[in-house]
């Protein structure tokens, strides 16, 4: 038996037993939330669907962000990804559930997308119902194939098959496909709420936001599992430090893309384009965008400059929770102002994210419990274990 095999055999990589309780509690919340969603559909259908769309984009985006980071980790071969790989895989494998949860939007689409009832001539070649549905099928087919390929090969790697080089080949193609499909999905499901407005950088904002959500969720999960043996000894501050630096990079990238979109449109001062921003900075919406600037960029940017904060999971988790909440607020700011009869706040804007979140987390924990929490036979594990002993 090799030295790596001896080290692996001496370590227990099983998921903490408490995960079964986490799954059960999440499922209870999800079922109660789903009942609330059904009630909302009967009482205030239009308002509920807007909240449901926000929730759907957030939780589907989290799965897509997990898939994106998983492929980035395989391409970069970074050790930062070893400790969160199972979280990313489990999150990506929730995509089949999200494909099913799209059905309320699919079947009640005319309550959200006015252009389906009154076609827009200049965009009709793209914004028409048959093509919109066909693209939904195509998006999820590609996402399913990428997820299945990466996770099934990862399972074979746990069984000590030598398939590692295939990961990078699939991840390279997958990053391109994922970027394109996520960008077009953001256009189809959110930007088309206002069929007269468009932005070429819009999809990239969603791609970066999804990766940021996945990083924050990974920080939360990593902090939680390090409260259980043996991960308190296995996961060291340097792993949090690496993930914290990535989070800082995505915070800045998100701010850069968002500011670039605003600057180009504001400088152009075209009535068809600038009106989209005008209705999002006036009155109540001005406070929302100020909160996004402060708590989605300025505060996280300042805090993540601290080396001590990035190395302390119990301090970093608070910032991760704040960023995930602000991702939800950002989606709210993108979606709600598109509608003429705006309901600024509704209980369904809260119930829908909680309900979908409970179902998402229940399926996530189910996936997480199927595999060891660390990829023991990954070729990078000897280096990871060496760093563990050094630190």
Residue 12 lies in a domain: no
Tens digits of per-residue pLDDT, 87-109?
999 999 999 999 999 999 999 99
Q: Is residue 337 part of a domain?
A: yes
pLDDT of res. 2: 46
Secondary structure (H, E, C), the chain: CCHHHHHHHHCCCCCCCCHHHHHHHHHHHHHHHHHHHHHHHHHCHHHHHHHHHHHHHHHHHHHHHHHHHHHHHHHHCCHHHCCCHHHHHHHHCCHHHHHHHCHHHHHCHHHCCHHHCCCCHHHCCCCCHHHHHHHHHHHHHHHHHHHHHHHHHHHHHHCCCCCHHHHHHHHHHHHHHHHHHHHHHHHHHCHHHCCCCCCCCHHHHHHHHHHHHHHHHHHHHHHHHCCCCCHHHHCCHHHHHHHHHHHHHHHHHHHHHHHHHHHHHHHHCCHHHHHHHHHHHCCHHHHHHHHHHHHHHHHHHHHHCCHHHHHCHHHHHHHHHHHHHHHHHHHHHHHHHHCCCCCCCCCHHHHHHHHHHHHHHHHHHHHHCCCCCCCCCCCCHHHHHHHHHHC
With respect to residue 8, please indicate whether it lies within any of the assigned structural domains. Answer: no
Position 234 pLDDT exceeds 80: no
In a domain, 3, yes or no: no
In a domain, 5, yes or no: no
Please check the confidence at residue 10 and state whether its pLDDT lies above 50: no
Does residue 16 lie in a domain region? no
Domain that holds residue 315: 25-375
Identify the weakest region by mean pLDDT among 105-114, 118-127, 260-269, 349-358. Answer: 118-127
Q: How many domains does the chain have?
A: 1
| pLDDT tier, 174 (very low <50, low <70, confident <90, very high otherwise) | very high
């Amino acid at each position: 038996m090799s030295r790596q095999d001896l080290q692996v055999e001496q370590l227990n990589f099983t998921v903490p037993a408490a995960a079964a309780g986490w799954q059960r509690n999440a499922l209870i919340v999800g079922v109660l939330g789903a009942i609330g969603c059904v009630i909302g559909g009967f009482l205030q259908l239009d308002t509920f669907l807007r909240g449901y769309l926000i929730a759907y984009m957030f939780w589907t985006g989290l799965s897509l962000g997990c898939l994106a980071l998983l492929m980035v980790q395989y391409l970069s071969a970074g050790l930062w990804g070893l400790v969160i790989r199972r979280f990313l895989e489990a999150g990506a494998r929730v995509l089949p559930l999200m494909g099913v949860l799209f059905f309320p939007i699919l079947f009640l689409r005319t309550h959200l997308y006015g252009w389906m009832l009154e076609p827009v001539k200049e965009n009709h070649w793209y914004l028409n119902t048959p093509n919109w549905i066909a693209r939904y099928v195509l998006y999820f087919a590609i996402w399913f194939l990428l997820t299945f390929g990466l996770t099934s090969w990862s399972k074979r790697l746990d069984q000590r098959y030598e398939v590692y080089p295939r990961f990078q080949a699939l991840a390279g193609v997958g990053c391109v496909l994922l970027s394109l499909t996520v960008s077009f999905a953001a256009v189809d499901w959110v930007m088309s709420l206002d069929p007269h407005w468009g932005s070429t950088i819009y999809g990239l904002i969603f791609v970066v936001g999804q990766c940021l959500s996945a990083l924050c969720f990974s920080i939360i999960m990593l902090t939680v599992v390090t409260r259980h043996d043996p991960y308190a000894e296995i996961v060291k501050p340097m792993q949090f430090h690496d993930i914290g630096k990535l989070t800082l990079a995505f915070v800045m990238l998100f701010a850069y893309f968002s500011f670039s979109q605003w600057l180009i449109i504001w400088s152009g001062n075209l009535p068809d384009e600038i009106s989209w921003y005008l209705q999002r900075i006036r009155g109540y919406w001005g406070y929302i965008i100020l909160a996004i600037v402060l708590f989605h960029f300025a505060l996280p940017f300042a805090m993540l400059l601290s080396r001590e904060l990035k190395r302390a999971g119990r301090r970093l988790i608070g910032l991760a929770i704040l960023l995930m909440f602000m991702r939800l607020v950002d989606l709210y700011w993108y979606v709600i102002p598109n509608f003429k009869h705006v309901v600024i706040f509704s209980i369904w804007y809260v119930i829908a994210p909680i309900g979908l979140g409970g179902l998402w987390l229940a399926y996530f924990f189910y996936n997480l419990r199927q595999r060891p929490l660390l990829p023991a036979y990954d070729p990078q594990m000897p280096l990871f274990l060496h760093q563990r002993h050094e630190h």
